[in-house]
């Protein structure tokens, strides 16, 4: 009788009819069997959204199922991240995280509705987007050294997309490294900040390479330095080449799943994303916005995120920035 019961249980497990245990037993072998949702915690048209949609176009070929991109913006990326964290850990909900919501906000907000390390399973680091220092043509500087020297003789101001954003904290990091102090002019979003910079309302800003490129190409802004050499910014030196060692506030993007997602499914997703990032269609699309494709193992990405949380915590605390 015991042998018969064991045989029946084994058969039921194989068919996946014993609830959660059966589902775990199937693992990645039958995953995915329906569309996957990718939450983007920001608005359509930005770097996070472009990356997610570029990968989504490749997913039918990578895993045989479509990927549906869902923009859930609010609270500096926290809303979308919270939705993802509280979703079932079955591999059918992912989130395209960025350094803001998944590293900076950990210290910037006194209380988050999620814990990045506890509530998420890292899947893969996807891309890194350089930051570029741009100035209004009326500012009499051509190099980083010119800017630092000028800032020591007169008060300069800089714009940002808001208090505690990557642009704000990137500049505060620059201030700390160079020993200068520039006044912060926060805006409600990078678009208005860029409009006023082009209009000469203030003289400079640290911007992601994608947002600044049209204005630089149009001759409305001058690029002084960039965090990583880019063919989109020919002749623009890196900050290291400009004598600013240890300065790299580049923005990164990566895919996370809810904590508890079966490991074999996480590994399958990670491998698919790494492969998708190297397809010419995705690689060329991201290169056009200045981003460098990466791809990583879940372990590598997890360690990277922990290091980024610690690194940005120092910058946030030194700046005194808070948003709640």
Q: How many CB atoms lie within 10 A of CB 43?
A: 12
Domain that holds residue 310: 34-125+250-319
Are residues 314 and 176 located together in one domain of the fold?
no
Torsion of the alpha carbons at 11, 13, 18 and 21, rounded to the nearest 10:
170
Are residues 204 and 257 located together in one domain of the fold?
no
- 324 — pLDDT class (breaks 50, 70, 90): low
pLDDT at 29: 83
Number of folded domains in the chain?
Answer: 2
Are residues 137 and 284 located together in one domain of the fold?
no
* 25 pLDDT above the threshold of 80: no
Mean of pLDDT values over 22-38: 76
Of 75-79, 220-224, 293-297, where does mean pLDDT reach its minimum?
75-79
Q: Measured between alpha carbons, how far is residue 209 from residues 212, 228, 310 in Å?
A: 6, 10, 24
pLDDT at 9: 43
In this prediction, what percent of the chain has a pLDDT beyond 90?
78
- 257 — pLDDT class (breaks 50, 70, 90): very high
- 24 — pLDDT class (breaks 50, 70, 90): very low
Rounded to an integer, what distance in angstroms lies between the CA atom of residue 167 and that of residue 169? 6
Are residues 139 and 120 located together in one domain of the fold?
no
Enter the pTM of the model.
Answer: 0.86
Are residues 255 and 114 located together in one domain of the fold?
yes
Helix axes 263-277, 298-319, angle to 10 degrees: 80
Q: How many CB atoms lie within 10 A of CB 27?
A: 15
In a domain, 244, yes or no: no
Q: Annotate 138-156 with DSSP letters as a single string.
A: TS--SSHHHHHHHHTTS--
pLDDT at 45: 85
DSSP 27: G
- At residue 201's C-alpha, the angle toward residues 198 and 205, to 5°, is 60
CATH of the domain at 295: 3.40.190.150
Among residues 211, 226, 241, the one where a domain terminates is 226
CATH of the domain at 136: 3.40.190.10
């Amino acid at each position: 009788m015991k042998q018969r019961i064991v045989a029946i249980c084994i058969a039921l497990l194989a068919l996946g009819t014993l609830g959660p245990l059966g589902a775990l037993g199937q693992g990645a072998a039958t995953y995915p069997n329906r569309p996957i949702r990718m939450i983007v915690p920001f608005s359509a048209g930005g770097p996070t959204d472009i990356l997610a949609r570029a990968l989504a176009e490749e997913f039918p070929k990578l895993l045989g199922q479509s990927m549906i991109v869902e923009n859930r913006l609010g609270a500096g990326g926290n809303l979308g991240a919270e939705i993802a964290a509280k979703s079932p850990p079955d591999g059918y909900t992912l989130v395209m995280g960025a350094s803001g919501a998944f590293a900076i906000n950990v210290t910037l907000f006194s209380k988050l509705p999620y814990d990045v390390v506890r509530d998420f399973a890292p899947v893969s680091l996807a891309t890194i987007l350089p930051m570029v220092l741009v100035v209004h043509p009326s500012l009499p500087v051509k190099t980083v050294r010119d800017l630092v020297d000028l800032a020591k003789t007169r008060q300069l101001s800089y714009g940002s997309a808001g208090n505690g954003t990557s642009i704000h904290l990137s500049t505060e990091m620059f201030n700390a490294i160079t020993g200068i102090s520039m006044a912060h002019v926060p805006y409600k979003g990078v678009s208005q900040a860029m409009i006023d910079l082009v209009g000469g309302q203030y003289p400079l800003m640290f911007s992601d390479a994608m947002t600044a490129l049209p204005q630089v190409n149009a001759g409305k802004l001058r690029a002084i330095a960039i965090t990583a050499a880019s063919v989109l910014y020919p002749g623009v030196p890196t900050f290291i080449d400009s004598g600013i060692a240890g300065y790299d506030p580049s923005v990164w993007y990566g895919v996370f799943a809810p904590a508890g997602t079966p490991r074999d499914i996480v590994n399958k997703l990670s491998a698919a994303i790494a492969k998708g990032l190297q397809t010419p269609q995705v690689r060329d699309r991201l290169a056009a916005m200045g981003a460098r494709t990466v791809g990583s193992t879940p372990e590598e990405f997890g360690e990277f995120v922990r290091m980024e949380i610690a690194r940005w915590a120092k910058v946030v605390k030194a700046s005194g920035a808070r948003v709640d």
